Structure 1
């Protein structure tokens, strides 16, 4: 079962299952408060990941004082805990009042994109609560296909995907996903992609937060091939516990004859947009991941 032994896999699954049952009995706001505690616990029990966060912030924001980076790092773990708690709670509220805790700004861009008959490519990042974005759109009736990298623990991966699909989102594995994504877009539906990760083979390196990072060209390739609108989308958590989803204006894709140059040019543009979100709300990004790992 991969790099971890079976006992570790089952322990992770048990802790995930236990967390689900704990957060199920809490209200949305109390689940978010419980997420603070969860983030604190994870931060203290994963010193290796804590160091990755510290190092990543130092590389990304060398101009910031160390004390400021320390405060950002603490909020990073807060967000991870809160997002995990929200994700578990979202399943329980999926066909109840989940949309009561969500506001969507710029929804007209989605409707305009679908009105063209070409669907839409939505790109985001592991930012704030990235899962609630596709969940909210699916619950509002939008046909969503999300590309997901399988988690290392197949038990937890199955658990997570069952929650994702409970909202109506269709999930496909990142491996060999381009063909399925093309077919989906050709039937005038929406594709949801997190670009701050390796998704498919053939990644290209673009500068991201001051370092070269392997980035999937899938959005640029699909947009060139289909003429589908490319729409940035992300979420922000407000003080009252409401999640605001921001649908940004569709991008004007650059077109040059050389496919490789065209792909690189547009992927750089997409990465700059994600960087803008991170610079504005640095604590919302998933700094625990070694985004710049080679190979």
Structure 2
């Protein structure tokens, strides 16, 4: 049970966030989305998120000039703010999703699997707007629920879950009960979605953007156990700032969980390499100091590499 002082702080933060959302909703969608992007971009220095994004960029791209890291970090914060208000604007998001026709080599495979009642596990990352991809699929007959990580702030978590479910499908927490519900959807031939690009302490160290990153193998494990199609999916922000190109990549071939999860990491790495401004560099994906503390070098055989992945996207 959180301490009373912590609960009071969480409540205060949530009230402030709700107030900002209330003000934003007084504006038309095409105005509120760039406005929230501008707010988050301007507050980046105060919040510390801009510095965090620049640190992550420097870790992966040590030779990148500081002005370029600053430019990308500011664009990341702009996208972060846009994603926040877009995902709370569920009615507007679903309306606009009607024009976001998913494309790519995985689209026909997904349609065939859905018609046949075969489960589909969609996997993405914090790139562009991950919920926009769910919206685009769900307005076309899918019921893609989402697996999410519980927020530290219990007051904010309630309306966050409502925003996830607002575009269709059910939200499942990453706890025992939530995972059981998520698995049931797959077992019954449904569709689910999950993100794989946050630090996972109990994960396997796989390559992501040329560095070791502890990663959960659960996507590959579930796909194999329930014979689910494992499909990378992304919603990349268009030039107008409010619409998306939804790319459904070719399904990952079934082999073993580690190989399949590495393929998912490689898919996301290619996207991030091509559009670094669209990925959430504010996340501490690698935590090298923590890895050095908890992982011995012999824990896995992944070599450190300095080169960046080739942009070999199939969509």
* TM bucket, shorter chain: 0.7 to 0.9
Aligned equivalent of 1:210 = 210
Q: Is the 8 A contact 1:101 1:243 kept in 2?
A: no
Provide runs of 4+ in structure 1 moved above 4 Å.
none
Deviations 1:23-42 (A, max 9, x none): 22222221222023222233
Return the TM-score normalized by structure 2: 0.83
Aligned equivalent of 1:93 = 92
CA distance in 2, matches of 1:166, 1:224: 29
Farther-moved stretch of structure 1 (243-252 vs 119-128): 243-252
Aligned equivalent of 2:243 = 242
Aligned equivalent of 2:145 = 145
Q: Is the 8 A contact 1:178 1:218 kept in 2?
A: no
Aligned equivalent of 1:170 = 170
Aligned equivalent of 1:264 = 258
CA pair 18-41 structure 1, distance change in 2 beyond 3 A: farther
| 2:17 maps to 1:16 | yes
Report the alpha carbon displacement of residue 8 of structure 1 after superposing the two structures with TM.
1.9
Which secondary structure does the structure 2 equivalent of 1:5 belong to? helix
Report the alpha carbon displacement of residue 154 of structure 1 after superposing the two structures with TM.
0.8
CA distance in 2, matches of 1:172, 1:33: 30
CA distance in 1, matches of 2:160, 2:283: 18
CA pair 272-266 structure 1, distance change in 2 beyond 3 A: same
Farther-moved stretch of structure 1 (277-286 vs 242-251): 242-251
Report the alpha carbon displacement of residue 152 of structure 1 after superposing the two structures with TM.
0.7
CA pair 180-36 structure 1, distance change in 2 beyond 3 A: closer
Aligned equivalent of 2:28 = 27
Aligned equivalent of 1:257 = none
Aligned equivalent of 2:279 = 285
Report the alpha carbon displacement of residue 14 of structure 1 after superposing the two structures with TM.
1.2
Unaligned runs of 5+ in 1: 255-261
Deviations 1:155-176 (A, max 9, x none): 1111111121122220111112
Aligned equivalent of 2:80 = 80
**Count of equivalent residues:** 284
Aligned equivalent of 1:5 = 6
Farther-moved stretch of structure 1 (164-173 vs 97-106): 97-106
Q: Is the 8 A contact 1:83 1:129 kept in 2?
A: yes
Q: Is the 8 A contact 1:207 1:213 kept in 2?
A: yes
CA distance in 2, matches of 1:100, 1:143: 15
CA distance in 1, matches of 2:20, 2:62: 36
Q: Is the 8 A contact 1:59 1:210 kept in 2?
A: no
Q: Is the 8 A contact 2:198 2:283 kept in 1?
A: no
Farther-moved stretch of structure 1 (138-147 vs 265-274): 138-147
CA pair 207-162 structure 1, distance change in 2 beyond 3 A: same
| 2:98 maps to 1:104 | no
Q: Is the 8 A contact 2:252 2:263 kept in 1?
A: no
Aligned equivalent of 2:43 = 42
Which secondary structure does the structure 2 equivalent of 1:104 belong to? coil
Report the alpha carbon displacement of residue 113 of structure 1 after superposing the two structures with TM.
2.2
Which secondary structure does the structure 1 equivalent of 2:162 belong to? helix
Report the alpha carbon displacement of residue 186 of structure 1 after superposing the two structures with TM.
2.2
CA distance in 2, matches of 1:156, 1:131: 18
Report the alpha carbon displacement of residue 138 of structure 1 after superposing the two structures with TM.
2.6
CA distance in 1, matches of 2:226, 2:109: 18
Aligned CA-pair RMSD: 2.2
CA distance in 2, matches of 1:279, 1:94: 27
Which secondary structure does the structure 2 equivalent of 1:121 belong to? strand
